[in-house]
Structure 1
Amino acid sequence: MPSVPEPQDTGLLRLFFALPCPPEQTAAICQWRAGQALPGRPVPEANLHLTLAFLGAQPASLLPELYRLAQTVHCPAFELRLEHLDSLGHGFICLRPSRTPVALDQLATLLREALFEHGLVLPDSRTFVPHLTLTRQAPQHLHGQAPLFAWPVTHFGLYQSYNDAEGVHYRELASWPLRPPTPAPI
């Protein structure tokens, strides 16, 4: 089981489960984004991810339970393909899949159900919409095709969001593997 990080002064940690964006894809996405002159404030390269479940502020004492809960989530690995540019919510420009992988929906659903069964009420109860945020505070909406950014998703993680003088940072606290995909019959 992962070690429990030192809690902040308040004893609360801002937490979320997510899929990390691999470094080579992060670099390619940021290079493409820079050439697009997208409106809004760019999300820092180190912060690119796809959120599965946002937990909000939770007591640090809950981490061991979250680690146990995540170990019960069993899902196959899959390929994530982001090729659609879209605006979500108020001012978020994102990359989204044209077709959501079944395993991604399953992973998000299993995580959310496990959290609910353990008495955690998520601050965001909206339907899961897979996306990777590129910019925030965009004054206009965009929709269209983007180049294909794809990678094999082999694990998910629990992350802490924290602020310092340099901005918002995300730190992976722990990660869990997805099982290898079942080969298609011949």
Structure 2
Amino acid sequence: MKNDTLRLFFALPCPPQLAEQIVSWHDSLQLKGRPVIPANLHMTLAFLGQQPSSRLADLRTLAATVQGAAFELRLDRLVRRRNGLLYLAPSQPPAALLELVERLGEALLAGGFRLEERSFLAHLTLMRSCSGQPPPDCPTFDWPVSHFALLASETGPQGSVYHQLQQWPLLRID
């Protein structure tokens, strides 16, 4: 039987050049764990889980209605949780990011999609099962965010791989 569902989420895909800078710095820390590959670096805005592929058109339509302003995201904190999750985060999430998450969530709920119960945490996962203690300081990574995207997650022999299905621009406000 053919699997007609996709594991979907809306996210900010990390620009490739910035992803390479972050991974190069992270690799220099020589921490043990399961690192996220550069192509998978992203900030999740809304996780949808398994969805019927027949709902893709609905998701694309509702995402096109979500308006948001482009913004600069400054990742300046390195956090390791007790469960071994290591991530970069902004000390102060930009208002435009929080507004985008709220508008997207409202559109998804209005479209009949179910959202996670936990509140949004602005973060870029670097590693899972990190066993070492990261340094107290980290460099600042500035990320110009100009769009958001719908991504699908596929699990393969090397782990998860994310594929961008479509992206939508954020408005430049000068």
Shift of 1:132: 0.3
| Aligned partners of 2:29 and 2:134 also within 8 Å | no
- Partner secondary structure for residue 39 of structure 1: coil
| Aligned partners of 2:88 and 2:126 also within 8 Å | yes
Partner of 1:5: none
Runs of 4+ in 1 over 6 A off after TM superposition: none
Deviates more, 1:71-80 or 1:111-120: 111-120
Shift of 1:113: 1.2
Return the TM-score normalized by structure 1: 0.88
Q: Sort the Cα spacing of 1:100 and 1:167 in 2 relative to 1 into closer, same or farther, 3 A.
A: same
- How many residue pairs match? The answer is 174
- Opposite residue 118 of structure 1, the aligned amino acid is G
Shift of 1:168: 1.2
Shift of 1:40: 1.8
**1:105 paired to 2:98:** yes
Gaps (5+ residues) in structure 2? none
Return the TM-score normalized by structure 2: 0.94
1:131-155 residue CA offsets vs partner (Å, 9 max, x unmatched): 0000002246658431011121000
Partner of 1:135: 127
Which aligned pairs between 1:2-151 and structure 2 lie closer than 5 A? 9-88=2-81, 90-122=83-115, 124-139=116-131, 144-151=136-143
Q: Aligned Cα RMSD in Å?
A: 1.7
Which whole-Å CA distance do the structure 1 matches of 2:5 and 2:27 have between them?
35
The percentage of counterpart residues that share the same residue type is: 46
1:86-127 residue CA offsets vs partner (Å, 9 max, x unmatched): 1247321000001100000001111111111112112x2111
